Amino acid sequence: MPYPGPVRAALALLADACCVLAFVVIGRASHSDGETLAGVASTAWPFLAGLACGELAARAWRQPLALVPSGVGAWLGAVVVGQGLRVLAGQGTAPAFIVVSLVFVGLFLLGWRLAARSAAVRVSGRG
């Protein structure tokens, strides 16, 4: 990525948050829950808080495009901490929802990093 470190880290955090929000909006739409701002915010906050925990634990700002630890930390933080916060907040969860969130969020948070790394290699001419 041609951006300096702090900008790259901020863009990575923004991409991660967008992935989590896409997961929430798609999930709410598939269950006919609607996409009101309040509804999306209510569903998203546990996952976004978990994402922040995972980013901090992995120190993702150091290597924002790295699958490990940044991508995996963001992924597991968003899902594991996010699901835990949902339970504590009384929103509930189910085994199928845990699996769906692990798969979807994992594909998105790791997938955009793989795509960005691949594009960076192509642009630099090393690939």
pLDDT single digits (tens) 47-89: 999 999 999 999 999 999 999 999 999 999 999 999 999 999 9
- Phi/psi region, residue 92 (left: phi>0; alpha: psi -120 to 50; beta: rest), is left
Structure tokens at 98: 């845990």
Residue 33: band (very low, low, confident or very high) from pLDDT cuts 50, 70, 90: low
Q: How far is CA 49 from CA 4, 55, 57, 86, 127, in A?
A: 26, 10, 12, 11, 36
Calpha distance 127→123 (Å, rounded)? 8
81-122 pLDDT per residue, tens: 999 999 999 998 999 999 999 999 999 999 999 999 888 777
Question: Which of 124 and 46 is assigned the larger pLDDT?
Answer: 46
Q: Is the pLDDT of residue 123 over 90?
A: no
